[in-house]
Each structure stands twice: as structure tokens, then as C-alpha cells.
Amino acid sequence: MDKIKIQFVLNGETRQVEVEPDLLLIDLLRERLGLTGTKVGCGEGDCGACTVLLNGKNVNSCLLLAARVNGCEVVTVEGLGSYDKLHPLQEAFIAEGAVQCGFCTPGMLLSAKSLLDVNARPTREEIARHIAGNLCRCTGYTKIINAIEKVACADRHCACSREAEEGR
């Protein structure tokens, strides 16, 4: 199979790679580029563990051909925070106890980011709906929603942040 040359921005850095036409984005990220922070839970687009941001939108990288990201911007969990400062969502997930086994966490964080980037003040229901494609077997989601809500409400002293504090 002839390889395709693609160029895309990965976590802020321009990358040029040659990929087979049938190579999946998840395999490009994990196997070729060594970014194993993104996980795979089903390989069928059901669980969201492989979620990355494609031009800011949350996508299942297990269903996407790598060639498709030519000219696009891709963000993985490795590009979320920086070495000296975690992303506020990462901080909130830690503080709220939104992490257990951690396998869904990278995908969950990126889904959350894609929501907050377009809707700075989502309701709990909007958060739940947005992350419904990201399965988590450990946490029961409540503390994940609390964490996302906390970031959304960080600059405000609104009722929902108080509820999150109370462990709603």
C-alpha cells in the first residue's frame, strides 16, 4: 500500500508523518508516536477511552483514519497541561476524587475540555449528556461531573459550585 504523507499539529507541535491509508489515528498516536496516554477500551467507538480533540472537537480516535487529520489540529492528554502547570480540569479531577483506575480519565478529560471550550457554563445535565460517550466503570460519574462543573464555575460563586463542594 502506498503511504500518504500528512502534516498536522499535535499538541501544539507540527508533525509530518507517512501513514498507510488504513492506519487508525489511535495506532498512529500510540504505536508510531509513543503517546500511550490515550487508551483503547473497545476499538468500536462505544467507550470513549480513545477520545482526542480534533480541531477542538472530541472524537473517537479508534474510528478515525490517521490520514483524515491531515491539516488538522489534534490534542491528546499529553498536550492538556504543561510540565509546570496542570490544566484546571486535571487539577479538578484530582481534587474532586474523579479518578479511580484512571483508564477512562484521559478520554474523559478531553471530552470535558471540548465541552467547556464551547460552553463555559454548562448545567450538570449538559455535562452528563456530553460525557455520555465516555464510559467509566469505577467512579459512578458523579465526581467527574462535580470536577467539570467546578472548572466551569471556577470564577463564580454560584450555587452549583457549592453543591459540588457538598459532594452532590
Partner 1 sequence: MSDRQYRHVGQSPKRIEAQEKVTGRATYTFDMELPGMLHAKCLHSPYAHAEIVAIDTSAAKALPGVKAVLTGEDIPYLLGLYMIDKRVLARGKVRYQGEAVVAVAAVDEETAEKALSLIKVEYKELPAVLTIDEALEGKILVHEDINELEYIKGVFFPQPDSNIASWNKTIKGDIKQGFAEADLIVENELSLPPVGHAPMETHVAIAQADPYSKQIKIWSSTQSPFGVRQLLAKALGVSKGDIQVIAPYVGGGFGGKAGIHLEPLATVLSRVCKGRPVKVTATREEEFNQLPSRAAMRGRVKTGVKKDGTITAVEIYYDWDSGAYADYGVNVGRAATYSGAGPYEIPNIELHSRTLYTNKVFSTAYRGFGHLETHWIIERQMDMVARALGMDPYEFRMKNILRDGSVTISGEHINAYSGRPDKCLEAVAKEIGWTGYRSPEERQAAFKTGKVRGKGLASLQKAPAMPTNTSTAAIMQMDEDGNVRLMVGGVDMGQGSNTVMAQIAAEVLDMPLEKIKVVWENDTDRHPYDWSTVASKYTFMGGNAVKRCAQNLLKQMKELAAQILRCPVEELAYGEESIYHVQHSKKKRIAYKDLAMGYSYENGNSIGGPLVAHGVYIAEGLTYLNPDTGQGLPALDWTFGAHGVELEVDIETGEVEIIKIASAFDVGQAINRKLVEGQIIGGVLQGIGSALIEGFKFSPDGRLLNPSFTDNKIPTAKDIPAKIVPIIVEYPQLDGPFGARGIGEHPMISVPSVIANALYDALGIDFYELPMSPEKIALAIKKNGIQ
Contact footprint for partner 1 (CB under 8 A): 30-31, 35-44, 46-47, 49, 76-78, 80-81, 86, 90, 93-95, 97, 99-106, 109, 127-129, 131-145, 167-168
- CB-based burial of residue 33 (10 Å sphere; 0-12 exposed, 13-18 middle, 19+ buried)? middle
What minimum distance in Å lies between the beta carbon of 137 and partner 1? Answer: 5
Of residues 18 and 71, the one with the C-beta less far from partner 1: 18
What minimum distance in Å lies between the beta carbon of 136 and partner 1? Answer: 7
What minimum distance in Å lies between the beta carbon of 124 and partner 1? Answer: 9
Sign of the Cα torsion 38, 40, 43, 49 reads negative
The values of phi and psi at residue 96, to 5°, are -85, -5
Of residues 39 and 71, the one with the C-beta less far from partner 1: 39
The grid coordinates listed for 136 are 467509566
What minimum distance in Å lies between the beta carbon of 125 and partner 1? Answer: 9
Of residues 8 and 30, the one with the C-beta less far from partner 1: 30
Of residues 65 and 86, the one with the C-beta less far from partner 1: 86
Where in the chain does DSSP place strands (E)?
A: 4-10, 13-19, 51-54, 57-60, 73-75
What minimum distance in Å lies between the beta carbon of 29 and partner 1? Answer: 11
Sign of the Cα torsion 120, 35, 68, 108 reads negative
- CB-based burial of residue 164 (10 Å sphere; 0-12 exposed, 13-18 middle, 19+ buried)? buried
Of residues 7 and 130, the one with the C-beta less far from partner 1: 130
Q: In this structure, how many other beta carbons lie within 10 angstroms of the beta carbon of residue 145? A: 23
